[in-house]
Amino acid sequence: MQITFTNPTYLFFLFSIPLLILTHFFTMIYLRRRAFKFANLEAIWRVTGGDKAYFKNTIFLTHNTLLLMLRISILVFLILAAAGTILWTQSSTNNYDVVLAIDASSSMLATDFEPTRLDAAKSEAINFVNRLSSRTRSGLVSFAGSSFVEQDLTSNPSDVVSAIEKLEVKSVGGTDIGGAIITASNVLMAAQTPGNEKERARIIVLMTDGRSNVGATIQDGVDYALKNNIRIFTIGVATPEGGTYLRTESISKLDEPSLQYVADSTQGKYFKAESAQNITSSFEQILTANTQNIPNNLSRVFLLLGVTLLFLEWGLISTRFRSVP
């Protein structure tokens, strides 16, 4: 179980709580002085029978601790709602949506995998899709210098397999990993059923052999995935020596720290695939995972609690804690 925030900047408003407490007690001191100024002390003396101790306890106003706790709770709940509080719980489930994001840049033609990196990735991706649960929806995004939606989310795995088989290297130069994450996230969100965001986990399996060098930054992609409660598994498709491609001497190598960062930041996992067998093993671990991280957006709950307590506070200050001049 873990708590994350889609808008953590709002948490800085929690530092206003000490100011609220100081303001509360300052107000109580002011009201007590005003009570002394206007109170009919002689009448109160007669009602209490001249008991000075009782009289002393009667004329002094309380600090209204209940009211203070209510106001602190209201402030905390509203701040947590604005911060976009997400509670991640682990649950055994096959009820999730997954989008494959496959690198289709020219470096995927490197021959350190037989026959090429792209062909090896496609073959294992097809096996993965064919083994998905019938309750799992899947889709496909390819990317190079730009991202392309090859297949929207569907419950028919044969459509995704067909899209993978047709996948070819793109003519757009570069590798835009951040943009690929954002595009894949949009595919997942487009198929979201309103009100069911707690029921289905959302997953991206990102396969690449290089490093991001154009388009959106990796941080932009990670932030977007976190905002939409999406978990990312990354698979690095390259041998330690790298490989040449397109009859050039250029060698494509992995940016492992970035892929590790993407996976760790989104509660996923990074797999280093140095062979076709490693790719198989990576998909196997994703398939056989007994648990999925299910996001539970608590923003509406905290907002409802904050508003409810706000009405309760209004009721109390109009009745029990009503201030009379």
Residues 63-74: what's their mean pLDDT? 81
Mean pLDDT of the chain: 81
pLDDT score, position 125: 94
pLDDT score, position 180: 95
pLDDT tens-digit map of 241-285: 666 665 555 666 677 899 999 999 988 899 988 888 888 888 888
Q: Is the pLDDT of residue 204 over 90?
A: yes
pLDDT > 70 in the chain, percent: 76
> Which residue has 């064919």 as its token pair?
130
pLDDT score, position 165: 95
pLDDT band at 143 (very low <50, low <70, confident <90, very high): very high
pLDDT band at 196 (very low <50, low <70, confident <90, very high): very low
pLDDT band at 178 (very low <50, low <70, confident <90, very high): very high
SS3 88: strand
pLDDT score, position 142: 96
Tell me the residue type at 120: A
> Which residue has 């649950």 as its token pair?
91
**Distances 269 to 222, 248, 260 between C-alpha atoms, Å:** 14, 33, 7
pLDDT score, position 148: 95
CB 299 within 8 A of CB 100: no
pTM, to two decimals: 0.65
Within 10 angstroms of residue 44's Cβ, the number of other Cβ atoms is: 12
pLDDT band at 71 (very low <50, low <70, confident <90, very high): confident
pLDDT band at 135 (very low <50, low <70, confident <90, very high): confident
What sections of 39-145 are H helices per DSSP?
A: 41-47, 52-59, 65-82, 117-130
3-state secondary structure 17-55: HHHHHHHHHHHHHHHHHHHHHHCCHHHHHHHCCCCHHHH
pLDDT > 90 in the chain, percent: 36
pLDDT tens-digit map of 94-127: 678 999 999 998 888 887 788 888 999 999 999 9
Q: Is the pLDDT of residue 131 over 80?
A: yes
Q: Which of 310, 266, 309, 300 is nearest to 84 (CA)?
A: 300
> Which residue has 């490197």 as its token pair?
110
More confident residue, 320 or 124: 124
Return all residues near 151 (Cβ < 8 A) that are at least 6 apart: 139, 140, 159, 160, 162, 163
Give the strand order in the sheet containing 292-297.
Answer: 2-5, 85-91, 292-297
Listed ranges 1-5, 22-26, 179-183, 191-195; the one with the highest mean pLDDT: 179-183
Cα gap 320→231, rounded to integer Å: 49
pLDDT score, position 50: 52
**Distances 130 to 100, 256, 292 between C-alpha atoms, Å:** 13, 28, 20
CB 9 within 8 A of CB 296: no
pLDDT tens-digit map of 284-311: 888 776 556 677 888 999 999 999 998 8
Can you list the domains of the chain with their CATH numbers?
Answer: 2-84+300-318 (no CATH), 93-292 (3.40.50.410)
Residues 81-91: what's their mean pLDDT? 83
pLDDT band at 61 (very low <50, low <70, confident <90, very high): very low
